[in-house]
Every structure is written in C-alpha cells, then in structure tokens.
C-alpha cells in the first residue's frame, strides 16, 4: 500500500447508485473505494459506443456506466452460483475493472492504436490493476493530490490480490475440450467465465445497456431466466435445459445488435474516418491511448489541417458516403483472395486506398476501404462462440447440438459487407468508376 495513506474510519461502507438499466445498484466498500479512483472516473469521459451517437442520438452513455453495470451483473451471477464471499469479491472487482484500460472512443481506435503504438486495452487494463501502468500520469496526479491511491492499493486494502483480479480480466486462451466437457487443469474456470465467456457479465450489461440507449429492441434478454438456470458443473458454468431458450435469446440479441448498431454502415464510416485520421499521424508526442474522447479530438484539431477537417466533419456529421459494398456471396474466389491479401497487412490496405485515389484523381485521404472482419474479431472475440455447456438428458452437451438457432448464429454473417469503400459526396462518381478495377485488377 502507498505510504502515508490514511483510510477513513466510521464512514458508510457501501454506496447506492441509481442506474437506468438495473435501477438501484448497491456497491460494497471495495467497489465504492475503487469507484473513487481517477482510473475509474476517467471512464466517465469515454463513450461506450464510440461514434454511434451520430446515428443513434441517445447513445451517449459511458464506459463508467457499463463498468458499474457489469459489476452488478457479475455480483448477481455470483449469488446465483452461490459463490463464497471471497470469490464474489474478486469477481465483482474484476468486472468493475475489466475495461479500465480502454482508450478514447472505446473500440473505435483499438486496432489503429495497436498498430501505431503497440498497445491494446486488455494489456493496459492488467497493468493498471497490478500497478505496472499509469493511465493517469504524474502531472495530473499532482493536481489531484500528492498521495493519490492507485488500483492495487485499494484491492490490497480490502484483502484482494491484484494479480488474481488481473488474471480474471484477461481472456483465457484455453481451448474447451468438448469430448471431456472441461478445461484441463482448471478448478475454478467459472470465475473467468463470469468475466469472459460465451455467457458473461460483460455481454449481459452491454446488450441491455446499449439497447436502452440506442432505442433498438434487439438487445433485450431474459436475464432473470438465465440466473435461474445457471449452475456450475466440473468447474465450468453451464445451464439447465430449462434455460436453453434464454441462452438462445442472448445469442440472437448479440448477433442482431452487431448487425444493427455496432456495425451499422454509417457508424462504421464515421469510425473509419477517425481511425484513418489517427493512422496518418506518425509523430505522436504523447500516448493518445491514455486520452479520453475530448482530449483526442482537441489534440487532432491542433495537429494538422487534414486532422482538423476530419474532426470538424465528424462533429457536424459531414460524413463520407458509401461508394461500393459487397457481401461474400457477391464476390468470386479471386476477388475474395485479393481482399484477403489486403487484410493481412494494413500497409497494403493503405496502399490500395492511395491507388484508388490516384486512379480517381482525388486526394488520397478521401478514400477509405473498410474490411470489417479483422476488427470485429478484435472488438468482440466471442462473436462466433455459441457453444454454451448445457445439462441435458442426464449428461452434458453443447448448445449447438440441441439448438438450430445457436448453429445458425455461429455461421450467420454479422456484417452485411465484407468490403466497403467510402468517400466524400463530391468524389463519389469519380471513385465509383475505378474502384473495382483498382481492387481486383
């Protein structure tokens, strides 16, 4: 623990938060103290859905709201599974902290910041929890006070090991053995699965919350039914067969929310405009991963004229327009192979954008190629995971074996296009004439 820190005595050891989705949320002393930290309050300045508000005006909710909601959901799952107080404390803390390393506009810039600065939010999250990474910075900490607590200080004060929490927020790479229906060498896999799994607290909250704020009904799930049928078998989370319809409903909700909200065509155009703007800046004087939304926009608007134009275009919703889009079935094998070559190397994609611009005689920064699958797998690696463990006929099985819906969701195309090209309205006809020839030769 940091030296010289005095913890308040006799203060109320819980906090009640009014939440629009879950109503009254009661935070215990650990989560109340975590919530006071700058690392958590920073999330109040990062939009949960990035630039989706340009299409869904109500989508101005923040990562902080989602973090609190995820912790509430994790606590309810822990109660339903009858976890002991120690396990519940670790899980609820991990859920509250699971997104603490997110950068500006959440997933919008995740892939480009990884390419340009070599960081991703999950590694930063782990570093913040263990004290190995400071997302706030000493200059800000001096303004806030010389003896600012950090995340590991609070965890240790409440008897929680930071390393255990950090391990839960990292998505495990263990492969599930469907023949033996278990993860080898894992005794408490259910703790990881509450944070990261085909069914977890993160998904439950973001589906309910994002549906509420966007006004899209697709995210509605039967959370109470899921809680009433969830249980632990052989160290893993599974569901009673009476919960199959509720699990199916959650998988359908997830797929539909990705199609209609997260990968909405106009949302993607706005996000790729911002991503390309950041990508083109090669001389970052600061770590923009530590920025919040407003800081990034202020930085970009002062950086150069092209960045300023992009920020103003987004601010006043003067977005690029779709020129060309194809789904998988509309492309030949040769065309798919050509696109695959672009996805393997972002420099090749950048060169192709410049090639289209040259052929159309338009400025190179006015052409954007969007091939969303790689970014989809970064932002939601669970998207093709539909095999939840089900107790069935006196034994165990995977959901897809008894549910045609689960199997259909696994192979369903979440995004309507595998490639989309966009450009400003004034260049639309010029780009349209050359795009296919440039892409496929």
Does 405 have pLDDT greater than 80? yes
Residues 234 and 366 in one domain: no
Does 363 have pLDDT greater than 50? yes
Residues 328 and 402 in one domain: no
Residues 88 and 135 in one domain: yes
Residues 328 and 404 in one domain: no
Report if residue 296 sits inside a domain. Answer: no
Render 147-191 in DSSP notation, one character per residue. Answer: T---HHHHHHHTT--HHHHHHHHSPP-PPPBTTTTB-TT-S-HHH
Residues 6 or more apart in contact with residue 74 via CB below 8 angstroms: 91, 92, 94, 95, 194, 195, 201
What digits encode the pLDDT tens for the residues 383-397?
Answer: 566 678 899 877 888
What digits encode the pLDDT tens for the residues 82-119?
Answer: 999 999 999 999 999 999 999 999 888 888 877 776 77
Instruction: Classify residue 404 by burial, with Cβ atoms within 10 Å: 0-12, 13-18, 19+.
Output: exposed
* Other beta carbons less than 10 A from residue 341's beta carbon: 12
* Per-residue pLDDT, 133: 94
Q: Cα 385 to chain center, whole Å?
A: 15
Report if residue 315 sits inside a domain. Answer: no
Report if residue 283 sits inside a domain. Answer: no
What digits encode the pLDDT tens for the residues 128-138?
Answer: 999 999 999 99
Helix axes 428-440 and 346-360, enclosed angle (nearest 10): 130
Domain span at residue 258? 15-263+388-411
What digits encode the pLDDT tens for the residues 407-425?
Answer: 777 667 678 888 999 999 9
Report if residue 30 sits inside a domain. Answer: yes
Report if residue 252 sits inside a domain. Answer: yes
Residues 231 and 354 in one domain: no
How many helical (H) and strand (E) elements, i.e. helices and strands, does the chain have? 22, 9
Q: Cα 18 to chain center, whole Å?
A: 24
CATH number at residue 82: 1.10.3210.10
Residues 119 and 225 in one domain: yes
Split at pLDDT 50, 70, 90, the class of 6 is very low
Residues 47 and 166 in one domain: yes
Report if residue 79 sits inside a domain. Answer: yes
Report if residue 10 sits inside a domain. Answer: no
Q: Check: CB of residue 34 under 8 Å from CB of residue 40.
A: yes
What digits encode the pLDDT tens for the residues 269-308?
Answer: 999 999 999 998 878 888 888 999 999 999 999 999 999 9
Strand, coil or helix: 71: helix
Residues 334 and 405 in one domain: no
Residues 346 and 258 in one domain: no
Q: Measured between alpha carbons, how far is 380 from 365 in angstroms, rounded to an integer?
A: 28
Residues 150 and 253 in one domain: yes
Residues 405 and 353 in one domain: no
Report if residue 290 sits inside a domain. Answer: no
Number of domains in the chain: 2
Residues 198 and 341 in one domain: no
Nearest to 150 by CA among 71, 45, 38: 38
Residues 6 or more apart in contact with residue 302 via CB below 8 angstroms: 308
């Amino acid at each position: 623990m940091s030296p010289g820190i005095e913890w308040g005595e006799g203060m109320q050891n819980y906090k009640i938060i009014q939440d629009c989705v879950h109503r009254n949320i009661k935070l215990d002393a650990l989560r109340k103290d975590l919530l006071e930290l700058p690392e958590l309050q920073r999330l109040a300045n990062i939009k949960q859905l990035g630039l989706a508000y340009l299409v869904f005006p109500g989508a101005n909710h923040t990562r902080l709201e989602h973090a609190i909601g995820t912790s509430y959901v994790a606590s309810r799952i822990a109660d339903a599974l009858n976890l002991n107080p120690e396990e519940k404390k670790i899980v609820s803390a991990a859920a509250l902290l699971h997104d603490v390393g997110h950068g500006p506009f959440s997933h919008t810039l995740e892939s480009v910041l990884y390419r340009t600065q070599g960081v991703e939010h999950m590694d930063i999250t782990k570093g913040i929890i263990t004290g190995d990474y400071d997302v706030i910075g000493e200059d800000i900490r001096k303004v806030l006070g010389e003896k600012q607590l950090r995340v590991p200080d609070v965890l240790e004060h409440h008897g929680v090991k930071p390393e255990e929490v950090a391990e839960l927020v990292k998505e495990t790479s263990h492969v599930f053995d469907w023949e033996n229906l278990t993860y080898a060498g894992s005794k408490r896999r259910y703790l990881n699965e509450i944070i990261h799994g085909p069914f977890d607290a993160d998904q439950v909250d973001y589906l309910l919350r994002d549906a509420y704020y966007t006004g899209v009904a697709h995210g509605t799930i039967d959370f109470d039914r899921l809680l009433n049928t969830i249980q632990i078998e052989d160290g893993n989370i599974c569901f009673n067969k009476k919960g199959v319809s509720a699990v199916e409903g959650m998988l359908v909700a997830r797929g539909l929310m990705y199609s209609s909200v997260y990968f909405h065509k106009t949302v993607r155009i706005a996000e790729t405009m911002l991503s390309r703007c950041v990508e083109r800046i090669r001389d970052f004087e600061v770590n923009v991963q530590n920025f919040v939304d407003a800081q990034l926009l202020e930085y970009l608007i002062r950086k150069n004229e092209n960045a300023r134009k992009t920020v103003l275009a987004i601010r006043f919703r003067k977005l690029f327009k779709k020129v060309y889009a194809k789904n998988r079935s509309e492309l030949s094998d040769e065309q798919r192979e050509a696109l695959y070559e672009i996805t393997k190397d972002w420099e090749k994609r950048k060169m192709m954008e410049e090639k289209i611009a040259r052929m159309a005689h338009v400025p190179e920064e006015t052409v954007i190629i969007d091939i969303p699958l790689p970014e989809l797998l970064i932002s939601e690696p669970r998207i093709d995971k539909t095999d939840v463990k089900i107790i069935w006929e006196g034994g165990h099985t995977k959901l897809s074996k008894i549910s045609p819906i689960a199997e259909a969701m696994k192979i369903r195309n979440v995004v309507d296009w595998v490639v989309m090209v966009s450009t400003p309205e004034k260049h639309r006809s010029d780009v349209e004439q050359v795009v296919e020839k440039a892409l496929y030769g």
